[in-house]
A = this chain, B = another copy of it.
Amino acid sequence: MGCFLLVLLLLANSSRADDGYRLWLKYDLLRDAGKREAYARSAQFISIQNNSRASSDPVLKTAAQELQAGLQGLLGKPVPIITSVPNKTGGIILTTGTGAESQSLNDEGYQITRRQNNLVITGKSSAGVLYGAFALLRQVQTLQSLEGIALTSSPKVRYRLLNHWDNVNGTIERGYAGSSLWKWYELPERIDPRYRDYARANASLGINGTVVNNVNASSRFLTGEYLEKVAALANVFRPYGIRVYLSVYFPAPKTIGGLNTADPLDPQVRQWWANKTKEIYAAIPDFGGFLVKANSEGEPGPQDYGRTHVDGANMLAEALAPYDGVVMWRSFVYKADPKGDRFKAAYEEFKPFDGQFNRKVIVQVKNGPIDFQSREPFSPLFGAMPRTPLAMEFQITQEYLGFATHLVYEAPLFKECLESDTYAKGKGSTVAKVIDGSLHGYPITAMAGVANTGSDRNWTGHTMGQANWYAFGRLAWDHTLSSEAIAREWVNMTLTNEPAAVSQITNLMLRSREIYVDYTTPLGLHHIMGYGIHYGPEPWKANASRPDWNHTYYHRADSIGVGFDRTATGSNALSLYAPDVQKLWGNAETCPLPYLLWFHHVPWTKKLSTGRSLWDELCTRYYTGVDSVAWMQRQWTQVKPVVDPEIYADVAGRLATQHKEALWWRDACVLYFQTFSRQPIPAPFKKPERTLDDIKRLVNTYQLR
C-alpha cells in the first residue's frame, strides 16, 4: 500500500515540464493531505440519479466522467461511478430535476447543495449538471471548502460562443497560436483527440457554441463534402453541450448552388437556402445557426442586389424557421468615405432597421465602434436598438494587442465595455444589461469571442493568453464576476496555489492592459498600429488605398494638437450616444483621459487634469508604459520558485520580447508625434537614441513579404 501511494505520487508529480496543454483543467494532486482527505470524504462515489432518460444522456455521462477524472487526479484516489444509490451517503449525486430545488435556475443553470450527507448537483438540463460538475471541480482546484456548500448559478446570456476565424487551408485569420485546430483534410474519417479536449475546456466555462469557420467564409463549408466533416466535429462536441455554427458565404447559391443570383428576395435563392438548411439539420440535428459578414470589407451581401441587411438576415432566418437555430448578422460595416467617420458607420447602417429583423435574428456588434482597439468607447449601437437583439462580439485573439508575445489580460477591457452606461433607459442602463436582455427584454441573448486558440501545444501561444479564453467564457456566463476574481481562479487552477504568488500574478494581470495602452495608444489614441499586419507601431501610415485605412485619419496630428474631433465641431459621432453620455465625453475639459483623443482634437500645450500638458502627458505615458513592462518582468522573476519551469521560461521569454517592442512603440510614437508638437521629451525622460528613420526601417521589416 505504501508502494501504491508512492507510485501515484510519482505519476502525479512527474518531473516532466508542463507544456500548458492541460490549460486550467490540470487536476494535479493537491499538496495538502489534510485537504485531500476532507474532499475525499465528500467524494466517495459519483452517481447519476436513476431515471431511464438520464442513464443514457451523453452529457450527464460526460459530467460524471469529468468529475471522476478530476477528483481522481486532485485527491489521488479512485472515485467510482455507481449506478444506484439506495441510502448511500458521502458521494456526489448528479440529477436533472424540475422540482422546487431547480425553480430558481434557467435552462442551463445548476445548483450544488448538500442533501442527506451527499453533494447534489442539480440542473434543469443535463448541460446544467455538466456546468455544475465543472463548478464543483473548480471549488476543489481553488481549495474552497465543500462543507455547507450552496452554489446556485445560471448563465445570464443564452448563446455563449467562440468564433473561429479559421480557413479551410489550415490558416487562421488573426491567429497567433499556430494553425487551425480543425483538420479538414482528415475529417470525417480521422478524429483528432484534441477536439475532445477543446470541448472539455469550453464546457468547463459554460461556452455552448462554436462557429468553426472564418466570417470571411468559404462556401465549401456548405457542400455535402464538408458538411460531413462539420458533422463529425459536432458529434465530438455534442456530449459537452456544445453546438456547431457555420459562417456562410452569402453568394453560396451561386458558387455552389448553380444559380445565377444570390438575391435574397429571389424565390429560387430562398428555396436553395431552405433546402440547404434542411440538409444541414439532417446531418447535424442540433446545428446552431449561421453567422454572416455581408457587405463588409469586400465580402458580398444583399446590397449587391439592391437589398438590405434585413432582407438578407430574414431570408436565412426563414430557412431556419423549422429548426432551433439562429442567424447572427454582423454589424461590422464601413464604407470608404473620406469625409465620413468610420465611427458612425455601423450605427447609421443598422439603427434604421431596428424592429425589422425576424425573431430568429440577432445582430452581432463589436464592443467598440472601430475595430478591437486596446481601448474603445462602447459601440453607440448598444442601447440604440431596443427592438433588435444585439449580441456582443469581443476579440480574444490579440489582433491589436501584441499578438502572442505581449501579456494583456483582457477581462478589464471586456468589463470596461460591459459596465459602460448607455443611459438608454436612464442611469444604470449598462451595456451588460443590453446584452443580457434585461434592459430591453430581448428574446435572444448572445456573447461571442473571436478565439485565440490554435494548434500550438499550449493552445494560445502565450501561456497567459489562456486566461483570456478563460475570462471570456466566465464573463459570457456571468458578466458580474470581477476581473480580479476571474484572474485569481485562473492563476490558482493554472499556475500556482501559493497565496503570495497568486496575488502577485493577479496584480500583474490586472495592470497589464493599462500598461499596454500606455506604451501603444495612451489617452485615446487608436488605430496607429503596423499596417495590414496590425503589429508594432505605424502612426505615419498615410498612403493606404482607402482613406479610413490611413492612420493619420485616426490621430489627425498637426502643429496645433492631436486627436479626432467627434463633437459637434467635428464628425459629431458623439451625437449617436444618449445625452448623458454626450455630457460625459463631450467636453474636453472633463472627458476622462482614457477617451480624450477619441473625441477631441487637443492642443499639445493644453494642461490636463494631471497637471501636465498634453504633450508631456503623452510622453509620460509612453515612457512609464515601457518601465511598467520592466516591472512586469521583475514581478514574474519573483514567482519563479512556485511556477512550472517550462511555463516560467515561456512567459519570461515573451515578456522580454514585449519589453523590446514596448521600446519600439514608445520611440516610434514620441519621435513621430514630436514632428508635430516640436517640443522636447520632458525630463526625466531621455530622448530615444535611434531616429524615426531607424524605427521606420524596423517597421518595414515586418511588412516585407
List A residues at the B interface (Cβ < 8 Å): 2-3, 6-7, 10-11, 14, 17, 19, 170-171, 176, 178-179, 183, 185-186, 189-191, 193-194, 218-220, 223, 225-226, 249, 255-256, 403-405, 454-457, 461, 535, 646, 649-650, 653-654, 656-657, 660, 698, 700-702, 704-705
Contact = CB atoms under 8 A, between A and B. Distances in A.
A104 to B, nearest CB: 42
Main secondary structure of the interface of A (DSSP, over half): loop
B654 A186 contact: yes
A255 B704 contact: yes
Contacts of A17: 193
Given A14-B11, A185-B403, A218-B705, A225 B653 contact: no
Given A701-B223, A704-B256, A185 B193 contact: no
Contacts of A700: 256
Given A10-B11, A189-B654, A189-B660, 10 more contacts: A3-B6, A178-B178, A178-B179, A178-B455, A186-B657, A189-B653, A190-B649, A190-B653, A220-B704, A455-B456
Contacts of A219: 704-705
A219 B7 CA distance: 54
Nearest to A167: B705
A404 B186 contact: yes
A162 B193 CA distance: 29
10 contacts: A3-B3, A17-B193, A185-B403, A189-B656, A190-B653, A191-B653, A219-B705, A220-B701, A226-B701, A455-B456
Contacts of A3: 2-3, 6
A468 to B, nearest CB: 17
Contacts of A702: 220
Query: Which 10 pairs across A and B sit closest by C-beta, in order of nearness?
Result: A190-B653, A189-B656, A179-B179, A3-B3, A189-B657, A189-B653, A178-B179, A223-B701, A178-B455, A220-B704
Given A10-B7, A456-B455, A190 B657 contact: yes
Contacts of A176: 185
Nearest to A16: B11
Nearest to A225: B701
A276 to B, nearest CB: 14
Contacts of A698: 225
Nearest to A223: B701
A594 to B, nearest CB: 28
Contacts of A185: 176, 403-405, 535, 657
A370 to B, nearest CB: 24
A658 to B, nearest CB: 9
Nearest to A656: B189
Contacts of A405: 185-186, 190
A646 B193 contact: yes
A654 B190 contact: yes
Contact of A704 (B218, B404, B656, B657): B218
A220 B700 CA distance: 9
A176 B171 CA distance: 11
Contacts of A646: 193
A408 B171 CA distance: 25
A33 B282 CA distance: 56
Contacts of A218: 704-705
A115 to B, nearest CB: 36
Contact of A653 (B186, B654, B657): B186
Most buried by B among A189, A454, A650, A700: A189
A459 to B, nearest CB: 12
A32 B393 CA distance: 59
A178 to B, nearest CB: 5
A251 B420 CA distance: 52
A330 B454 CA distance: 34
A698 B225 CA distance: 7
Given A185-B657, A219-B704, A704-B255, A650 B7 contact: no
A323 to B, nearest CB: 24
Contacts of A403: 185
Most buried by B among A185, A653, A656: A185
Contacts of A11: 10-11, 14
A63 to B, nearest CB: 23
A2 B2 CA distance: 12
Nearest to A21: B457
Contacts of A190: 405, 649-650, 653-654, 656-657
A490 B53 CA distance: 50
A629 to B, nearest CB: 12
Nearest to A659: B189
A589 to B, nearest CB: 41
A644 to B, nearest CB: 12
Contacts of A454: 179
Contact of A701 (B7, B178, B256): B256
Contacts of A653: 186, 189-191
A7 B13 CA distance: 13
Nearest to A216: B705
A401 B69 CA distance: 41
Most buried by B among A7, A170, A255: A170
A19 B705 CA distance: 34
A286 B171 CA distance: 34
A243 to B, nearest CB: 24
A354 B657 CA distance: 48
A175 to B, nearest CB: 9
Contacts of A223: 701
Contacts of A186: 404-405, 461, 653-654, 657
A191 B649 CA distance: 9
Contacts of A404: 185-186
A538 to B, nearest CB: 15
A220 B698 CA distance: 10
